[in-house]
Amino acid sequence: DRPPGAPTPPTASEAIRAFSAAIVFVIDSTISMGPYIDRTRDAVARVHEAIEKADLGRQVRFGLVAFRSSTDAVSGLEYLTQVYADPGTVKDGNDFLARVKAVKPATVSSARFDEDSYAGVMAAVEGIDWDPFGSRHIVLITDAGAIDGSDSLSSTGFNAQQVRLELVRKGIALGALH
């Protein structure tokens, strides 16, 4: 029983309408990912389409961060991380998909097989305003291992445990597709 004067709990449909989620894809955009970037773009488009069909487009927002590796080691990589789509600023599905199309693989190889995945994840953790979203998710997509924080090419100095702590601190769930 509810105490007198307590607000009426929302109905299921009201709760769904009030729900908000952000899903940020953090994708390896190195040369080896070339064939997978197109597949990832297609998969992201399908997920977005399913969200729109379920009429949840206002509640579920998408973002995308690309990462590579040390530009000090290989200047032709152009960038270490780049936010292509921030879920808080993307206008709608078409805007998001247009931004995703801009992701291209690097034209040169990295210094090593492992890439700076932690830099990509941390760019999403720190560079996105997660506050408006009740449900927060990062999907890491890569074909390589992560450069450990003790490695001279690490931009963050973080190991997996330190990245996990930052994710927990912000209430962000992380999934990986390798």
CA gap 99, 116 in Å, rounded = 22
**pLDDT digit string, tens, across residues 38-83:** 887 788 788 878 888 888 877 889 999 999 999 999 989 999 999 9
Q: Report how far residue 88's alpha carbon sits from residue 157's, in angstroms, rounded to the nearest whole number.
A: 28
Name the phi and psi angles at 75, rounded to 5.
Answer: -65, -25
pLDDT digits (tens, 9 = 90+) for 119-158: 999 999 999 999 999 999 999 999 999 999 999 999 999 9
CB 162 within 8 A of CB 122: no
pTM: 0.87
**Distance in angstroms (rounded) separating the CA atoms of residues 92 and 63:** 11
Helix (H, G, I), strand (E, B) or coil at 135: strand
Q: Give me the helix-helix angle, 34-53 and 93-101, nearest 10°.
A: 180
